[in-house]
Amino acid sequence: MAEPLTNAPDWQEILVCLRQIMRATDLHSKQVRKACGLTLPQVMLLRAISAQGDVTVRKLARDISLSQPTVTTILDRLEEKGLVERVRSLHDRRIVNARLTQQGKAMLDIAPPLLDERFMQRFADLPEDEQHALQDALVKIVRLLDQEQK
């Protein structure tokens, strides 16, 4: 059993910040859905396939940090919309890759950025050492949260 936290204001402020991040992400997700009719994970998957070309579910799952079953479900929906297709590898017929269709490529042209542009600009304006410090802190928070679920 975890010991009670004695420094409550610190962890409470972190919790409030996490909630604000989740709210901002949710709002941006709604904006993306309104702009192109896709969810953020669907756009992330399309962008990953676009960047890598023909790619397996396993590699996609690893690259965008989702489970393979989740990626498969997202691919099913994208395939229904005509944005991706599944093709067998020419080198190994057991391997099935995801590939963007022409319609999928066109969708990426209209899909908004995955992060709010104002955030990306503000982040880019930070000194490089602050960018790295923020990234390191977020990675540590993710690891702490991940340990809670194990």
Distance in angstroms (rounded) separating the CA atoms of residues 137 and 114: 21
Type of residue at 21: I
pLDDT digits 0-9 by tens, 28-41 = 899 999 999 999 99
The three-class DSSP label of residue 127 is coil
What is the mean predicted confidence (pLDDT) over 51-59?
A: 93
- To the nearest 10°, report the CA torsion of 125, 30, 24, 50: -40
What is the mean predicted confidence (pLDDT) over 130-139?
A: 95
**How much is the pLDDT for 8?**
59
Is the CB of residue 51 less than 8 Å from the CB of residue 92?
Answer: no
Contacts of 79-85 with CB under 8 Å at 24 or more apart are 83/46, 83/107, 84/45, 84/46, 84/49
Tokens of 29: 């997700």
Is the CB of residue 83 less than 8 Å from the CB of residue 39?
Answer: no
What is the mean predicted confidence (pLDDT) over 2-14?
A: 68
Distance in angstroms (rounded) separating the CA atoms of residues 103 and 1: 52
pLDDT digits 0-9 by tens, 83-114 = 999 998 788 888 899 999 999 999 999 998 88
Is the CB of residue 54 less than 8 Å from the CB of residue 125?
Answer: no
